[in-house]
Structure formats: C-alpha cells, structure tokens
C-alpha cells in the first residue's frame, strides 16, 4: 500500500491538526521547518514569549517533545533542516523547497497539506510550495509526481478554532452575532483556493483516538500556553482534541 505523507510546517502541527492519518499504518510525517537555529541567534521574540532563556535550548526541548508525541502515534517521521520563520531573515525559495520535498511525494497514496488557516507564513509556504509544485509538474511533460495520490488540506489548529468550530463540525447551535462558517470559508478562499475544488470532511474523534491525541499533544508543553491551549479550559480543549476538519482537494 502506498504510504500516507503528512507535511507538518513545524514540530507540532501534524499532531495538533492531522492526528487522524497519523494513526494509520505506514504514515510518514515530514516536518519542514525543523532546522536548528543558527549560531547568531540567542533568543527570539517568540521563544522569549514562551518563557525560553535560549533559543538553542528551546529547540532541543521541542525536538524531545516531538519525539515523545510521535512515539504516541507510532508513526515514522523525517525532519528537514529548513529554518522556521523566527530563525531566518527572508522568504523561502519555493521552487528549491519543492525539489527537496518532491521525493516524499513520489510513492505517496495520500498527501496531507496544511490549509494555512490563520496565515502563519510557514504554513502558507508549505501549502503553496506543494500545491504550486504539484501543478507545475502536472502541466509538464511526462509522468506527474504524486499524480495518483489523494490530496487533502487540513484545518490548522489551534488557528482554526479562533472563534470555535462552526455548527457543521460540532452540531451545536450557531451562536448569535458570530458567523464562524463565513470566517472559515473566507480563510480558505482569500489565498486563492477555489471552493469548487474543495470537499470538506469532519472527523469527530472516537474515544480512543481522542485519548491518544490528548496524550500526544500534551507532550508539546513548551508550546501549549503560548497558543492559548490549556487542558483546564475544557470547552476550547474539547474543540482542539475532539474534532479535526479536512478538505479533499480535487486536482
Ligand atoms: Zn505551525
């Protein structure tokens, strides 16, 4: 069976947002921006906000957190040494990045990509690099890379629950004076995604899947408070660990 490949911009995104495919046998996580901060960096603004004393020390902690979380899912992973937005000076050359990621696409049966809801620059880069690169290969002569694979965009968490999930996810009554459905659709289309190519899928995690995700995501303890995630805040935590949303992308 061809493997499922989940592209994770950072060390926590696959576990946070796409735990469903991580539990399938043979899934591989490819974490793109997992490079060690350069020597010239001592402590970045973001690492400082999350209470770090040194970006290098924080990086080592985050790698260890990610190892433990991936062990919970039991899936294989590869880390690329691209520099996270907070550790680099400028934008990424997307054609160069696609060349680097392309080998992971060749035998993939399913490809999972962040939808980049919330517009984090690293999430946008991973999405656009892969969608644009796959499109370029498709229009070029010869056998297109990853052409047989199902492509899915996953809703980035916790950014996607800025206002909570819409009622079509949870079944709860819509709240007055808040149109979450509009906000989420706007997030998807404002960066050029064509709604006609997207078919949404909602997963309410089973008790087992939810317990496993809960155990895995708690490993990212240096990141949870900075992202406004706290198991004691039960309604937001339930939205985070209880549901995932994906869009099948019609190529
Ligand atoms: Zn991220």
Q: What confidence tens digit (pLDDT) does each residue in 67-83 have? A: 999 999 999 999 999 99
Q: How far is the CA of 13 from the centre of ligand 1 (A)?
A: 5
Q: pLDDT tens across 11-65, in order?
A: 999 999 999 999 999 999 999 999 999 999 999 999 999 999 999 999 999 999 9
Q: How far is the CA of 124 from the centre of ligand 1 (A)?
A: 10
Q: What is the pLDDT of residue 77?
A: 95
Residue ranges of domains in the chain, CATH in brackets: 4-249 (3.40.50.10320)
Residue with tokens 């020597």: 39
Q: How far is the CA of 9 from the centre of ligand 1 (A)?
A: 5
Q: How far is the CA of 244 from the centre of ligand 1 (A)?
A: 16
d(CA 179, CA 195): 18
CA neighbor of 190 nearest in space, from 85, 93, 118: 118
Give me the DSSP letters along 113-182: EE--TT--HHHHHHHHHHHHHHHHHHHSSSSPTTTTSEEEEE--TTGGGTT---HHHH-PPPPTT--HHH
Is the pLDDT at 4 greater than 90? The verdict is yes
Q: How far is the CA of 157 from the centre of ligand 1 (A)?
A: 8
Coil, helix or strand at residue 8? strand
Is the pLDDT at 190 greater than 60? The verdict is yes
Task: Provide the whole-model pTM.
Answer: 0.96
Structure tokens given for 64: 């260890």
Q: How far is the CA of 29 from the centre of ligand 1 (A)?
A: 14
Q: Are the C-beta atoms of residues 83 and 29 closer than 8 Å to each other?
A: no
Q: How far is the CA of 33 from the centre of ligand 1 (A)?
A: 9
Q: How far is the CA of 158 from the centre of ligand 1 (A)?
A: 9
Q: How far is the CA of 184 from the centre of ligand 1 (A)?
A: 18
Q: How far is the CA of 123 from the centre of ligand 1 (A)?
A: 6
């Amino acid at each position: 069976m061809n493997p499922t490949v989940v592209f994770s911009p950072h060390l926590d995104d696959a576990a946070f947002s796409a735990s469903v495919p991580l539990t399938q046998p043979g899934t591989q996580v490819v974490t793109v921006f997992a490079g060690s901060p350069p020597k010239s960096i001592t402590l970045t603004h973001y690492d400082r906000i999350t209470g770090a004393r040194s970006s290098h020390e924080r990086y080592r902690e985050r790698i260890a957190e990610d190892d433990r979380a991936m062990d919970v899912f039991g899936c294989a992973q590869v880390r690329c040494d691209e520099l996270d937005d907070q550790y680099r000076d400028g934008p990424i050359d997307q054609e160069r990045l696609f060349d680097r990621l392309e080998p992971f696409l060749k035998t993939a049966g399913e490809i999972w990509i962040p939808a980049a809801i919330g517009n984090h620059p690293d999430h946008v880069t991973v999405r656009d690099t892969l969608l644009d690169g796959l499109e370029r290969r498709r229009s070029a002569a010869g056998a297109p890379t990853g052409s047989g694979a199902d492509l899915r965009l996953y809703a980035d968490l916790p950014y996607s629950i800025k206002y909570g999930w819409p009622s079509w996810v949870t079944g709860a009554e819509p709240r007055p004076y808040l149109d979450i459905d509009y906000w989420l659709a706007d997030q998807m289309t404002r960066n050029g995604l064509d709604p006609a190519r997207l078919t949404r899928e909602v997963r309410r995690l089973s008790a087992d899947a939810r317990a496993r995700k809960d155990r895995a995501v708690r490993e990212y303890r240096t990141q949870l408070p900075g992202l406004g995630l706290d198991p004691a805040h039960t309604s937001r935590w339930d939205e985070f660990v209880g549901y995932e949303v994906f869009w099948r992308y019609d190529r």
